[in-house]
Copies of this chain bind each other. A is one copy, B any other.
Amino acid sequence: MSNLLSGIEEITLMGPGPSCIYPEVYQALSKPTLGHLDPYFIQIMDGIKELLQKVMKTKNRLTIPLSGTGSAGMEACFVNLIEDGDPVLILINGVFGMRMKDVATRLGAEVDTIEFEWGKPVEVEVVAEKLKNKFYKIVAIVHAETSTGVRNPVAEIGDLLRDSETLYLVDAVTSLGGIEVATDDWGIDALYSGSQKCLSCPPGLAPATFSDRALDVILNRQTKVPNWYLDMSMIAQYWEGKKRVYHHTAPINMLYALYQSLYLIIEEGLENVFRRHQEMHQRLVEGLEDLGIKLLVDPPYRLPQLNAILIPEGIDDARGRALLREKYKIEIGGGLGPLAGKIWRIGLMGHTAREENVHKVLNGLREVVGRK
């Protein structure tokens, strides 16, 4: 029996995530495992909370990584806040807004949606109009729509909800660590992300934060959270309580990796990190223009970390990506849903957002589109 792991090649991850991993994060991953109640490990947990608060720009006490991937973060935010029949408004302009609808509907919420064209942003005025007519317990939006590369107006929607009783739920999976996420300033009550995007960790953790108001709602539910694993009232006792009450065994080594990646981001400086993403994006866009490749999204709404490009006429989706994978050792992403076969998604997330990678992918694309 041969060991498949010995055949793993290093691939430059320039798709919609996972992204390239910092070398220091690989090292962190294989540090000796400690017990989940070990006093030194608890110090590391506290360190992660502090670093996450900085990266998420929040003072929320309940700011912790959940033991699952980004979608577990989505599940956790909805399942803790929704009770049967609760009115929820979901703003949809891509796959992850659709996923929110599916998650919330399964949990018994009365879900209303406003759908916008994929590749265009959520329109603030349309949302404002909707909010005039009906009270929602939760309004949910995806900040960086990974399926299209659109940046949604999270701050502006937050302004609409200020002084209301509505809880504001935000998907920051692809935004956190790539563009500003100002949890407190934008009035966000529940926010989740994923480790494998701009944090440049392997996939497996969902950093999340809950405002005191959201926690209050959770602690005063009529019914128990119908998901033991993701019940924040119990998880909080392990992460926050004076006596750390065992809930489930934390994913120790993945948490080392997350600590290290957050540490590197704070060390570089959040603003510097955002600037680096923006600069690499601009270089990529210039190079794409030279190759005659167009982007899906209009400039004001483009995410620097996720660039959706239109597959040029006459180029085969699968063959193009296979050439990049095989010859150039680069992964880029295909389109999802209605955009399958129409776009490619080029990620410049976290440690991927470096000049050498921009050159590398432009080189590969040059061959793919036949402009040698």
| A-to-B contact residues, CB < 8 Å | 1, 3-5, 7-11, 13, 15, 17-18, 20-21, 26-36, 38-40, 43-44, 47, 67-72, 74-75, 79, 99, 102-103, 105-108, 194, 196, 202-204, 224-229, 246-254, 256-257, 259-260, 263, 266-267, 325, 331, 336
Please, which residues of chain B bring their CB within 8 A of the CB of A71?
A: 228-229, 247-249
With A35-B13, A106-B224, A225-B106 known to touch, is A29 a contact of B253 (CB < 8 Å)?
A: yes
Residue of B nearest to A12 (CB): B32
With A71-B228, A229-B75 known to touch, is A259 a contact of B15 (CB < 8 Å)?
A: no
Q: Is the CB of B75 within 8 A of A4?
A: no
Q: Is the CB of A33 within 8 A of B1?
A: no
Please, which residues of chain B bring their CB within 8 A of the CB of A107?
A: 226
With A3-B263, A47-B4, A249-B18 known to touch, is A69 a contact of B67 (CB < 8 Å)?
A: yes
Q: Is the CB of A40 within 8 A of B227?
A: no
Known: A30-B30, A106-B224, A106-B228. 12 other contacts (CB 8 A): A5-B259, A8-B32, A8-B44, A11-B34, A18-B249, A69-B248, A70-B248, A71-B229, A72-B248, A75-B228, A227-B227, A251-B254
Assembly of this chain: how many copies?
Answer: 2
A193 to B69, CA, bound (A): 19
Please, which residues of chain B bring their CB within 8 A of the CB of A247?
A: 71
Residue of B nearest to A257 (CB): B253
Residue of B nearest to A223 (CB): B106
A70 to B43, CA, bound (A): 24
A226 to B107, CA, bound (A): 6
Please, which residues of chain B bring their CB within 8 A of the CB of A33?
A: 13, 18, 20-21, 196, 202
Shortest CB-to-CB span from A310 to chain B, Å, is 21
Please, which residues of chain B bring their CB within 8 A of the CB of A249?
A: 17-18, 69-71, 194, 196, 203
Closest 7 pairs (CB-CB, A-B)? A204-B251, A71-B248, A202-B253, A26-B30, A75-B229, A203-B249, A10-B32
Please, which residues of chain B bring their CB within 8 A of the CB of A99?
A: 228
Q: Is the CB of A203 within 8 A of B18?
A: no
A254 to B108, CA, bound (A): 33
With A30-B29, A68-B68, A203-B252 known to touch, is A266 a contact of B228 (CB < 8 Å)?
A: no
Q: Is the CB of A38 within 8 A of B67?
A: no
Please, which residues of chain B bring their CB within 8 A of the CB of A227?
A: 75, 79, 106, 227
A257 to B5, CA, bound (A): 9
Residue of B nearest to A43 (CB): B4
Q: Is the CB of B75 within 8 A of A35?
A: no
Q: Is the CB of A202 within 8 A of B106?
A: no
Please, which residues of chain B bring their CB within 8 A of the CB of A28?
A: 5
Please, which residues of chain B bring their CB within 8 A of the CB of A260?
A: 3, 5
Shortest CB-to-CB span from A151 to chain B, Å, is 21
A21 to B227, CA, bound (A): 30
Residue of B nearest to A194 (CB): B249
Q: List 30 A-B contacts (CB under 8 A).
A: A5-B28, A5-B31, A8-B31, A8-B34, A9-B32, A10-B32, A13-B33, A15-B35, A17-B249, A18-B33, A35-B331, A38-B331, A39-B325, A67-B72, A67-B204, A68-B229, A70-B248, A70-B249, A71-B249, A72-B248, A74-B229, A75-B228, A99-B228, A106-B225, A107-B226, A202-B251, A202-B253, A203-B250, A246-B336, A254-B254
